């Protein structure tokens, strides 16, 4: 599978050799369109699941926030409609009257859940693909599931991480409703890539932060592109540290959103 990490515009250790001590290996999880089987490393589902183990549910609390609850089927149908609309040539009616009616119906929403909510599969990562994982015992994969509702005080899903040995397959249940369509992961294949990442500049020592902000540092390394950055050198070094750090690894973001 193709990978999209661009080459580094410059090697930061050539500018600040001290950074070499802070380098570490991370894994980018490139999502790729496809229909994964439970035996693949994947985003979304389906997961391998031990037949004897009950599927995890979240007891909440699930506090209404004014938005309608949607079923996972609603979310998927709306995505298909939007994809179809986006594929139509310019100048054509973007949404058909039927699609508008379906969308209106979806937006009415579903009853807010009062019972525990089935967790949704988010990712299944095999150690063979992400060798940095350190599984306990004989486990060889990590599963990530989440509850598709925000959990105050933070408006984000509650996650659970499960270590597994590749085991028997079963069809897990789905929650009847979710709080937001962004909480329903789209099944996809993953193309793991090992990359080197460095800490966020704010995590560096004051001395290193000052060196990064010193224009002379970049000039001496022959890395300064032109004098237009001189009044605000952070405009140059931040994209090369913050953004690179973000693009080239993040710390095992289970969604691997790049
Ligand atoms: Zn929940």
Q: pLDDT, tens digit, for every residue of 11-39?
A: 888 888 888 999 998 888 888 888 888 77
Q: How many domains does the chain have?
A: 2
Q: What is the pLDDT confidence band of residue 246, given thresholds at 50, 70 and 90?
A: very low
Residue 212 resides in a domain? yes
Higher per-residue confidence, 126 vs 39:
126
Asked whether the beta carbons of 23 and 241 are under 8 A apart, the reply is no
pLDDT score of 125 more than 70: yes
CA of 9 to the centre of ligand 1 (A): 42
Q: How far from each other are the two terminal CA atoms of the chain, in whole angstroms?
A: 14
Residue 165 resides in a domain? no
Tell which of 93, 108, 123 closes a domain: 108
pLDDT at 227: 67
pLDDT score of 134 more than 60: yes
pTM of the shown model: 0.69
pLDDT score of 98 more than 90: yes
Tell which of 55, 85, 108 closes a domain: 108
117-118 and 120-126 beta bridge pairing: unpaired
pLDDT at 192: 84
Residue 92 resides in a domain? yes
- Owning domain of residue 79: 72-108
Residue 103 resides in a domain? yes
CA of 32 to the centre of ligand 1 (A): 28
Q: Which two tokens stand for residue 18?
A: 């001290």
CA of 159 to the centre of ligand 1 (A): 9
Residue 191 resides in a domain? no
CA of 149 to the centre of ligand 1 (A): 5
Residue 43 resides in a domain? no
Query: Average pLDDT of 168-193?
Result: 80
Tell which of 108, 124, 158 closes a domain: 108
Residue identified by tokens 């984000």 is 156
The residues pairing with 120 across neighbouring beta strands, listed in sequence order, are 146
Q: What is the pLDDT confidence band of residue 3, given thresholds at 50, 70 and 90?
A: low
Task: State phi, psi for 46 to the nearest 5 degrees.
Answer: -85, 155
pLDDT score of 79 more than 60: yes
CA of 147 to the centre of ligand 1 (A): 5
Residue 217 resides in a domain? yes
Residue 238 resides in a domain? yes
Q: What is the pLDDT confidence band of residue 254, given thresholds at 50, 70 and 90?
A: very low
Higher per-residue confidence, 101 vs 198:
101
pLDDT at 251: 33
Q: Are residues 78 and 27 in the same domain?
A: no
């Amino acid at each position: 599978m193709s990978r999209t990490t661009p080459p580094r515009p410059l090697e930061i250790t050539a500018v600040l050799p001290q950074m070499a001590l802070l380098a570490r290996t991370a894994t980018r999880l490139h999502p790729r369109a496809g229909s994964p089987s439970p035996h693949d490393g994947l985003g979304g589902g389906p997961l391998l699941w031990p037949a004897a183990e009950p599927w995890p549910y979240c007891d909440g609390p699930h506090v209404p926030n004014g938005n309608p609850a949607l079923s996972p089927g609603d979310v998927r149908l709306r995505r298909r409609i939007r994809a179809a609309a986006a594929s139509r040539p310019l100048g054509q009616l973007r949404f058909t009257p039927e699609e508008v009616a379906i969308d209106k119906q979806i937006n009415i929403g579903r009853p807010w859940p009062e019972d525990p909510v089935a967790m949704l599969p988010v990712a299944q990562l095999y150690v063979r693909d992400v060798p940095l994982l350190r599984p306990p015992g004989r486990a060889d994969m990590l599963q990530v599931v989440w509850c598709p509702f925000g959990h105050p005080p933070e408006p984000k899903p509650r996650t659970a991480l499960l270590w597994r040995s590749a085991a028997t397959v079963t069809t897990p249940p789905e929650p009847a409703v979710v709080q937001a369509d962004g909480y329903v992961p789209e099944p996809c294949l993953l193309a793991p890539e090992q990359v080197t990442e460095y800490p966020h500049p704010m995590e560096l020592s004051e001395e290193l932060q000052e060196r990064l902000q010193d224009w002379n540092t970049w000039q001496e390394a022959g890395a300064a592109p032109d004098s237009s950055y001189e009044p605000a050198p952070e405009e140059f070094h931040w994209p090369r540290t913050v953004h690179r750090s973000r693009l080239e690894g993040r710390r095992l973001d289970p969604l691997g959103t790049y």
